[in-house]
Amino acid sequence: MMKIIQTPDALKAALQNESGTVGFVPTMGALHSGHRTLIERSRRENDVVVVSIFVNPTQFLEGEDLGSYPRRKEADEKICELSKVDYLFYPEAASMYARDEAGITAPDVRGYILEGRSRPGHFDGVLTVVMKLLNIVNPTRAYFGKKDAQQLMLISEMVRSFFMDVEIVAMDTVREDDGLALSSRNVYLSSEERKEALKISFSLKRAGKLIMQNIKASDRIMAEIHAILEPLEVEYVAVVNRRFEPIEHVEIDNTIILVEAVVGKTRLLDNIWI
Ligand code: AMP
């Protein structure tokens, strides 16, 4: 039977009575098949599976969608139950944060480029909450999606920098049949906007094809992506290595091509790992 737990202390106490490996999947809820693949892999690889659902206020900037972010408690509980989750952690913000407390700050450069440039301070909030969650759960492994590539890189590096004993497992992006990367925010899209949004995954697929034809100059690839995205509002197109340093030429097995575009009022992220 899945247990639903609401406070950090209660989860720590419950996990103290467990033995074996612990797999952890942190989420903001409104669970979709992308989340499910993370949970299912965690189930296969660990004795105990913990999923958290927490719409973390500190990673939202003023004026962003904290208040309207989709919340689907009942459906999420069902999905977790069906995926044989042992503990669903559903904390309130008040039990996660105290007033005037210490926090983690994202690196000066790589926390403030790309997504961090569009949303300055966002990754401070992400790293702080992930540090808190990892300390509460103390998992053997934690599962993250490559769709949020910059987040994944920053979390992996934080774990290394702070000598934390957790294995970070990266999972491929799950897509709709037509290529759209699954995201909890896709519910904001009208059917017109959804069609427009397809340009994003299409442009990345096209980049992959160019690389297969041995066209590896970043400029050329980014120009092609921009042309396909037209007339969407593009926040960034970037070609970086796995450490998120911009590179002039694609390096096989060490490149990520990233796009963020705004469709209607919705920011959509996608990327392809080369
Ligand atoms: P979120 O609830 O959006 O914060 O996402 C929770 C976790 O699920 C993060 O590690 C995301 O990278 C991952 N995730 C989100 N969308 C997808 C997707 N389409 N495919 C795979 N993983 C995803």
Q: Which atom of ligand 1 is nearest to the CA of 183?
A: 16
Domain CATH code at residue 62: 3.40.50.620
Mutation test residue for ligand 1: of 64, 72, 148, 204, the one with most atoms within 8 Å of CB: 148
Report pLDDT for 240.
Answer: 98
pLDDT range class, residue 3, cuts 50, 70, 90 = very high
> Is position 179 within any domain?
no
Structural domain contains residue 177: no
pLDDT at res. 139: 98
For residues 54 and 126, membership in a common domain is answered with: yes
226 is catalytic: no
Give the DSSP per-residue string, 198-209.
HHHHHHHHHHHH
The whole-number pLDDT of residue 266 equals: 95
Q: In angstroms, what is the span from residue 166 Cα to ligand 1's centroid?
A: 19
Same domain for 146 and 56, yes or no, is: yes
Atom of ligand 1 nearest to the CA of 38: 22
Q: Which of 171, 194, 217 is the last residue of a domain?
A: 171
Report the distance separating Cα 265 and Cα 148, nearest Å.
Answer: 19
Where in the sequence is the domain holding 217, given as residue range(s)?
A: 184-269
51 and 158 inside one domain = yes
Domains in the chain: how many in total? 2
For ligand 1, pick from 144, 146, 178, 267 the residue to mutate: most ligand atoms within 8 Å of CB: 144
So what's the pLDDT on residue 137?
Answer: 98
Q: Residue 25's pLDDT band (boundaries 50, 70, 90)? A: very high
Same domain membership, residue 7 and residue 117: yes
Residue 210 CB-half CA count within 13 A = 21
What pLDDT score was predicted for residue 261?
97
Q: Is 126 in the pocket of ligand 1 (CB under 6 A)?
A: no
Q: Cβ–Cβ contacts within 10 Å for residue 17, how many? A: 6
Q: What is the pLDDT of residues 59-116, one digit of tens each?
A: 999 999 999 999 999 999 999 999 999 999 999 999 999 999 999 999 999 999 999 9
Same domain, 214 and 108: no
pLDDT at 212: 97
Write out the two tokens for 259.
Answer: 């796009």
Mean pLDDT of the chain: 97
H-run or E-run covering 52: strand 48-53
Element (H, E) at 272: strand 266-273
**What is the C-alpha separation between 207 and 216, in angstroms, rounded?**
9
| Closest by CA position to 262, among listed 238, 224, 235, 243 | 235
Residue 213 C-alpha to ligand 1 middle, in angstroms? 31
Atom of ligand 1 nearest to the CA of 26: 6
Q: Is 144 in the pocket of ligand 1 (CB under 6 A)?
A: yes
What pTM was estimated for this model as a whole? 0.97
Mean pLDDT of 114-138: 98
Banded pLDDT at 4 (limits 50, 70, 90):
very high
Could you tell me the distance, in angstroms and rounded to a whole number, from the CA of residue 143 to the centre of ligand 1?
9
Give 271 Cα–ligand 1 centroid separation in angstroms: 13
At 90 the pLDDT is 98
Please give the Cα distance from 201 to 175 (Å, whole number). 9
Of 132, 142, 131, the C-alpha closest to 8 is: 132
**Which residue of the set 35, 122, 226, 249 is catalytic?**
35
Q: Is the CB of 181 under 6 A from ligand 1?
A: yes
Measured CA to CA, the distance from residue 224 to residue 213 in angstroms comes to 14
| Domain contains 176 | no
Closest CA to 89 of 60, 35, 119, 49: 49
- What is residue 211's predicted lDDT score, i.e. its pLDDT? 98
My answer on whether 137 and 193 are in the same domain is: no
88: tokens are 């669903």
pLDDT band at 222 (very low <50, low <70, confident <90, very high): very high
pLDDT tens digit sequence for 36-49: 999 999 999 999 99
| Packing angle, helices 8-16 and 122-137, rounded to 10 | 40
**Gap between the Cα atoms of 100 and 194, Å rounded:** 41
Residue 115 lies in a domain: yes
Are 36 and 15 in a shared domain?
yes
Q: Is the CB of 183 under 6 A from ligand 1?
A: yes
Query: What pLDDT was estimated at residue 155?
Result: 98
Residues 102 and 41 in one domain: yes
